[in-house]
């Protein structure tokens, strides 16, 4: 009986190591979307699942007021690369092909990306909003 438990313990240990390595072998990419007042708008909405949120119309993302924003110097923009929706779709497709070998019917950008909306609030400062994608998991 002791040998049986020992083998079972080793099996569980190896299974957990393999599971944790697979989970970490496909990390989320971080993407940044530039908020443009000429194209996008924002308004406060009440979301049934996420509560009171700031909705970025034209981008399709929510900022939850319980999340922490960062107010940063404008120099931060030199460190990041912005993505448009076309580039985001391409990166999402590459992620799914690498992970599953194909694109699934149902996609979820929240599972693939850590997403931030960047808004310029003055000549010297920007706000970095951590956001979630709206209506993800809907079949195309």
pLDDT at 33: 92
Tokens of 130: 């951590």
d(CA 37, CA 20): 42
Q: Is 120 left (phi over 0), alpha (psi -120 to 50) or beta?
A: beta
Q: How far is CA 130 from the centre of its chain?
A: 9
Q: According to the model, what pLDDT value does residue 25 have?
A: 75
Task: Note the Cα 119 to chain centre separation in Å.
Answer: 17
DSSP designation for 30: E
Q: Please tell me the total count of domains within the chain.
A: 1
Q: What is the pLDDT of residue 70?
A: 92
Look up the domain containing 44 and give its range: 28-133
- The CA distance from 66 to 72, in Å, is 19
The whole-number mean pLDDT for each consecutive block of 10 residues of the chain, a chain of 140 residues, reads 67 54 72 87 75 79 86 94 92 91 86 93 94 62
Confidence (pLDDT) at 14: 55
Asked, for residue 46, whether it belongs to a domain, the answer is yes
The answer to the question of residue 122 being in a domain is: yes
Residues 66 and 138: beta-carbon distance below 8 Å: no
pLDDT, tens digit, 9 for 90 and up, residues 76-117: 999 999 999 899 999 999 999 998 888 888 888 888 999 999
In a domain, 21, yes or no: no
pLDDT at 20: 47
Q: What is the pLDDT of residue 129?
A: 93
Whether the model pTM is above 0.85: no
Number of Cβ within a 10 Å radius of residue 77: 15
Q: Tell which residue, 89, 83, 86, 78, has the closest CA to residue 126.
A: 78
């Amino acid at each position: 009986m002791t040998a049986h438990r020992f083998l079972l313990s080793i099996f569980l240990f190896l299974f957990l190591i393999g599971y944790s390595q697979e989970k970490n072998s496909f990390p989320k990419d971080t993407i940044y979307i530039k908020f443009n007042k000429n194209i996008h708008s924002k308004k406060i909405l009440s979301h049934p699942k996420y509560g009171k949120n700031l909705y970025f119309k034209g981008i399709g993302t929510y900022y939850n007021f319980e999340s922490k924003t960062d107010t940063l110097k404008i120099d931060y923009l030199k460190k990041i690369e912005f993505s448009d929706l076309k580039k985001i779709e391409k990166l999402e497709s590459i992620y799914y092909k690498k992970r599953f070998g194909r694109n699934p019917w149902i996609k979820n950008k929240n599972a693939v990306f850590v997403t931030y909306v960047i808004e310029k609030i003055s000549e010297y400062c920007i706000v970095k909003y951590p956001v979630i994608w709206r209506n993800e998991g809907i079949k195309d």
